Structures are given as C-alpha cells and as structure tokens.
C-alpha cells in the first residue's frame, strides 16, 4: 500500500502507454511539485462523477500508476508534460485534506494466469492484422509485423491500439481480472475495429484510426 497523488481525468491510461498532459490549475501545479519532490509517480484515474477542471471529481476505483517522464517549458500559463503508464492499482481510501486528491492505493498483480498465453496469442493475431490494415491504409505495408509472444507486452500494445475507444470500454478492460480476461476483452474490442477498417478499405476510403501513444 502506498500514498499517491491522483489526477482524475476523462481518459483511461493503460500500463505501457504514454499520456500528454497540460497542467494549469493551481491545485495540480501543487500536485506536480509534490510528485517531483517524491518519486515522480502520479495516479491517473477516470472520473466517475464530477469535472476535470474547477470542481471536485470522484474517481473510479481502478487506475494506472504513471511516472512523469518529460516536462516542457510553460506555454500560455500551462505546463506540458508526459506521463508513462506503469502498473494498475486499486484505491483503498482517499485523502481529501489537500487541494488535490491523494489515494491510498494497492498495485494490482499483472502476472500471467494459466490461460493468458493462449489468450495473448489470439490477441496478437488480431493486433497484427489491425496494424497491417493501418499501414496499408497509408500505403506503408511492407510485410508482417513481428510481435513478441509475451502476454504482458501484447496487453500493452493492444491497450494503445484501443486508445480512441470509449472510456467505459477501456475502464472495463482495465478493471478486469485476471490477465487472460483483459486479453480476451481486448481481442473482442479490437476485432470490431479490424472489421470496420476492412470495410473502409473495401469502400476505398481510410478507416477511423486510433491515436497511438508510446508504440515504437
């Protein structure tokens, strides 16, 4: 269990992903200073109720622990920074005594369960197909995409391919246990994106492409 400053947002970050942010409220400037004085970790949590700006927000129970990776020069009163997603956590309690939320959080185990390997292999095939479709839509297809067979790596890649899907879908995946369940949910969701991309190519037009952060 550890105490982590929480940043409630209208976005879901997966472990392995990258999230660009702009800090301009005083309370989050204070939070940023506290993070930099500590281990640079911040909890990214989807807002369950409330707003991002100005008022209080009630976070979802499961979020992603992130590391503040890069901080840019202030621009028009806002501080740009990038957060790298590291691990899922569950909130056990909230501290509201500061201008920003602090969560008493427990990191969640991401270790593969007995069914994870098979689930990851199936997901890898769908992810490979989707990446190739995106490349083909730009005339960049040169051959098959070689993906690692590690379930955790496949989970992180698929999380980024699903970046533009609805928050409720991504949050449900983030909360699912065990790893094999998350992988199967990702496969079902990504399969629908593959079908849409294939249909768009058949019509001769580009499909709806995701904004993908953190994929090399």
pTM of the model: 0.87
Residues 6+ apart with CB under 8 A from 64: 12, 13, 14, 15, 17, 43, 44, 45, 85, 86, 87, 88, 89, 174
With residue 182 as reference, give the H or E element that holds it: helix 179-202
> Which residues are paired to 63 by β-bridges?
89
44-101 per-position pLDDT tens digit: 999 998 776 666 789 999 999 999 998 999 988 899 999 999 999 999 999 999 999 9
Beta bridge partners of 23: 79
- The per-residue pLDDT string of the chain (216 residues; one tens digit each, 9 = 90 and over) reads 899 999 999 999 999 999 999 999 999 999 999 999 999 999 999 999 877 666 678 999 999 999 999 899 998 889 999 999 999 999 999 999 999 999 999 999 989 999 999 999 999 999 988 888 877 776 665 555 667 779 999 999 899 899 889 999 999 999 999 999 999 999 999 999 899 888 877 776 544 444 343 333
* Cα–Cα dist 63/183, whole Å: 17
At residue 159, the pLDDT reads 92
Give the DSSP H or E segment for 93: strand 79-95
Phi, then psi, of 79 in degrees rounded to 5: -100, 115
Angle subtended at Cα 131 by Cα 125 and Cα 132, rounded to the nearest 5 degrees: 90
| Separation of alpha carbons 82 and 186, rounded Å | 25
Going by C-alpha positions, the residue among 92, 99, 21 that lies closest to residue 62 is: 92
DSSP string, 96-159: -SSSS-EEEEEEPP----TTHHHHHHHHHHHHHHHHHHHHHHTT---S-------HHHHHHHHH
| Calpha distance 43→119 (Å, rounded) | 28
| H or E segment and range at residue 32 | helix 26-37
Residue ranges and CATH numbers for the domains of the chain are 2-107 (2.30.130.40), 116-202 (no CATH)
């Amino acid at each position: 269990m550890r105490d982590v400053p929480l940043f409630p947002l209208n976005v879901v970050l997966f472990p392995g992903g990258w999230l660009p942010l702009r800090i301009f409220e005083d309370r989050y400037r204070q939070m940023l200073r506290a993070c930099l004085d500590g281990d640079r970790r911040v909890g990214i949590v989807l807002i369950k109720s409330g707003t991002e700006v100005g008022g209080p927000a009630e976070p979802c129970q499961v979020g992603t622990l992130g590391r503040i990776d890069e901080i840019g020069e202030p621009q028009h009163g806002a501080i740009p920074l990038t957060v790298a997603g590291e691990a899922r956590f569950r909130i056990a309690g909230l501290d509201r005594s500061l201008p920003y939320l602090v969560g008493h959080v427990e990191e969640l185990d991401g270790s593969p369960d007995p069914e994870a390997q098979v689930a990851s292999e199936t997901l890898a095939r769908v992810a490979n197909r989707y990446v190739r479709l995106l490349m083909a839509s730009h005339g960049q297809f040169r051959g098959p995409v070689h993906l690692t067979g590690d379930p955790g790596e496949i989970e992180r890649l698929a999380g980024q391919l699903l970046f533009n899907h609805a928050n409720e879908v991504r949050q449900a995946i983030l909360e699912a246990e065990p790893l094999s369940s998350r992988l199967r949910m990702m496969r079902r969701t990504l399969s629908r994106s593959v079908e849409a991309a294939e249909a768009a190519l058949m019509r001769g037009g580009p499909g709806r492409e995701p904004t993908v952060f953190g994929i090399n």
